[in-house]
């Protein structure tokens, strides 16, 4: 992996794949298996941000029909679909309300929203694999619901050598999020020298390197709906 020294910290960089698209940046990028469908514009910006910073925040990028389907499922799902979220994996898994208070419902392709969501994610996965050396192989995701006063303390989504999660992805499903609602996602960059605060506004998408970027969800004052997902590498740990 490439390293860039910025200030006190060495930031691992995502390495870009040098291909035709990089040599001819103005050439419109196209779907590998369907050359007639152009990629959404933000894909390219996301790749550039990941290479430069290890994270990317993109506003308004969820296609409207897909966003509406996801919003409907997330807001109409019976409470019983949501389980208290745990921390740790396998035998280390436990519920700890001092660390996180959200409830989660895993997304499968059995619902219309889930099917379209996973198809959309696959396009993104293909694009990222064509342009970066991340080796994204599989994807898992769940709806998250934070009730008023809900939060998730600062954490990493993956620990080096302990997980095959490579890239985290969050999408928000809250229309008209106003400042008093709070509940921002905060990314801690460079040992918290820089804090990136993201409003959980409908259609905003955040991606970041799971092992590199600690982050937290500040306490919300109203129901806060999101999707959290992870791309994993083939390597099984």
Residues contributing to the site for ligand OGA (CB under 6 A): 144, 152, 157, 170, 185, 215, 217, 226, 228
**Nearest in space to 103 (alpha carbons), one of 144, 131, 69:** 144
List beta partners, residue 55: 208
Residue 183 beta carbon to ligand OGA: minimum distance, rounded to whole angstroms: 8
Residue 184 beta carbon to ligand OGA: minimum distance, rounded to whole angstroms: 8
Residue 99 beta carbon to Mn ion: minimum distance, rounded to whole angstroms: 11
Residue 219 beta carbon to Mn ion: minimum distance, rounded to whole angstroms: 16
Which one, 24 or 160, has the nearer CB to ligand OGA? Answer: 160
| Alpha carbon separation from 159 to 104, 166, 211, 214 (Å, rounded) | 21, 10, 6, 10
Three-state DSSP class for residue 72: helix
Stretch that binds Mn ion, among 10-18, 72-80, 154-162, 189-197 (CB under 5 A): 154-162
Residue from 157, 184, 211, 212 binding Mn ion (CB under 5 A): 157
Which one, 14 or 167, has the nearer CB to Mn ion? Answer: 167
Quote the tokens at residue 32: 């590998």
Name the burial class of residue 170, with classes exposed (0-12), middle (13-18) and buried (19+) by CB atoms within 10 angstroms of its CB.
buried
Which one, 29 or 226, has the nearer CB to ligand OGA? Answer: 226
Which one, 82 or 152, has the nearer CB to Mn ion? Answer: 152
Which of ligand OGA, Mn ion, none does residue 113 bind (CB under 5 to 8 Å by kind)? none
User: Are 217 and 146 spatial neighbours (Cβ–Cβ below 8 Å)?
Assistant: yes
DSSP state string for 158-176: --TTT--EEEEEEEE--SS
Residue 42 beta carbon to ligand OGA: minimum distance, rounded to whole angstroms: 18
Does residue 102 touch Mn ion according to CB under 5 A? no
Which of ligand OGA, Mn ion, none does residue 217 bind (CB under 5 to 8 Å by kind)? ligand OGA
Name the burial class of residue 10, with classes exposed (0-12), middle (13-18) and buried (19+) by CB atoms within 10 angstroms of its CB.
exposed
Quote the tokens at residue 59: 């506003």
With b for 16 or more beta-carbon neighbours within 10 A and e for fewer, the 121-139 pattern comes to: bebbbbbbbebbebebeeb
Residue 100 beta carbon to ligand OGA: minimum distance, rounded to whole angstroms: 8
Using CB positions, name the residue nearest to Mn ion. Answer: 157
Contact set with Mn ion (CB under 5 A)? 157
């Amino acid at each position: 992996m490439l390293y860039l020294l910025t200030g006190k910290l060495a930031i691992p960089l995502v390495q870009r794949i040098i291909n035709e698209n990089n040599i001819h940046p103005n050439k419109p990028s196209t779907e590998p298996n369907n050359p007639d469908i152009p990629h959404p514009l933000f894909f390219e910006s996301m790749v550039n941000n990941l290479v430069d910073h290890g994270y990317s925040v993109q506003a308004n990028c969820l296609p409207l029909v897909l966003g509406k389907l996801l919003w409907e499922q997330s807001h109409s799902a019976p409470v019983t679909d949501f389980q208290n979220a745990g921390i740790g994996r396998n035998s280390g898994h436990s519920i700890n309300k001092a660390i996180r208070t959200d409830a989660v419902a895993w997304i499968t392709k059995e619902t219309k929203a889930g099917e379209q969501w996973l198809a959309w994610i696959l396009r993104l996965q293909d694009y990222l694999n064509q342009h970066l050396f991340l080796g994204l192989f599989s994807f898992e995701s769940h709806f998250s619901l934070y009730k008023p006063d809900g939060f998730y303390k600062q954490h990493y989504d993956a620990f080096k050598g302990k997980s095959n999660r490579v890239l985290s992805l969050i999408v928000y499903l809250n229309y008209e999020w106003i400042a008093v609602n709070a509940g921002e996602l905060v990314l801690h960059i460079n040992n918290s020298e820089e804090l990136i605060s993201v409003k959980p506004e409908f259609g905003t998408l955040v991606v970041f390197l799971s092992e590199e970027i600690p982050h937290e969800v500040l306490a919300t004052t109203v129901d806060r709906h999101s999707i959290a997902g992870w791309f994993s590498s083939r390597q099984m740990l």
